[in-house]
Amino acid sequence: MSARQRSTVRLQTCTLWIFLVPLALAQGTPPPAMAPDAKPALDVATIKPSQPDEQRLVYVEGTHLATRATTLVDLMTFAYSVHSLQITGGPQWIRSDRYDVLMQPNPGGRPSTAQMRSIMQGLLADRFQLRLHHASKEMEVYAIVPSKRGPHLAPTTAGEVAANTAAVGFAPGRMTASNASVTEFANLLNRYGQLEWPVVDDTHIPGKFDYKLAWIPGAAQLASSLPLPAGTDPAPASDLFAAIDEQLGLELKARKEPADVLVIDAVEKPSAN
């Protein structure tokens, strides 16, 4: 069985991640963006256990960053832009206990994706007492490279409001991204694609692009899918690997490469609010 076939078989149940900056527009004028050079700190944060039937989400509403039904590993994959396999060490509960998190940054304003990650890193250090170090480990990865078709990426049309939008995931098998580099797109695949190995960018393509990707999710993903929004395009005829080639002119190549890993030195269950 080829690496691509193995991955198709081993796709995990899709975790739905949504950044809701665009939805703020429907509720009125969004708050101004945080200054690009601002170094936000965590002002207020609440953490509570999730309800059993909650759907996993990460979203921005106004100036707040919030999550639902997220494990510590989920939070770390977002905060440090890594695949879950790039996180090692720690007790079992970091992958099983799920939390709802609400964070208010200081200074105020709508944070960019990089600023959201900085805020999340502060929360993990403060409330989970997370201590870690970086190491390099050779591991199986999916490297994004130009396909034989050649890249056909759409230069971003994001304006000031959309510039902070990292991604919007509507349902299993659907993903859009705005104003994202190919490296950022690889990070999104690590969260949306639910592939068995980390995805890394080996294209060396500069610039920011807008992405719209649709593929056939696995059977487990379909069983847990949410209703598609009105106006959604018909279901595609390709799996994730073929869709990336056909729709973006990129390819996922299975190979071994040195990759950054996060080694957990210390961690505790979150302190009470």
Which residues of the chain, if any, have pLDDT below 50?
Answer: 1-27, 161-163, 165-167, 220-231
Residue 206 lies in a domain: yes
Instruction: Kindly give, in sequence order, each residue whose CB lies less than 8 Å from that of residue 90, ignoring residues fewer than 6 positions away.
Output: 72, 264, 267
Q: From CA 75, how far away is CA 97, in angstroms rounded?
A: 12
Domain span at residue 119?
3-266
Q: What is the pLDDT of residue 234?
A: 53
| pLDDT value of residue 8 | 35
Give a yes or no: residue 218 inside a domain.
yes
In a domain, 272, yes or no: no
In a domain? residue 271: no
74 assigned to some structural domain: yes
Q: Residue 189: name the closest of 233, 151, 241 by CA.
A: 241
pLDDT for res 204: 92
* pLDDT, position 5: 41
Q: What pTM did the predictor assign? A: 0.79
Residue 38 lies in a domain: yes
* pLDDT number for residue 34: 83
Nearest-angstrom CA–CA distance, 70 and 260:
23
44 vs 249: CA distance, rounded Å: 43
pLDDT (tens digit per residue) in 14-37: 334 444 333 333 345 667 878 888
91-136 pLDDT, tens digit each: 999 999 999 999 988 887 878 778 888 989 999 999 999 999 999 9
pLDDT value of position 7:
37
Sheet holding 209-214, edge to edge: 154-155, 209-214, 174-180, 168-171
Q: Total structural domains in the chain?
A: 1
Q: What is the pLDDT at residue 214?
A: 87
- Tell me what pLDDT residue 178 has: 82
Tell me what pLDDT residue 161 has: 47
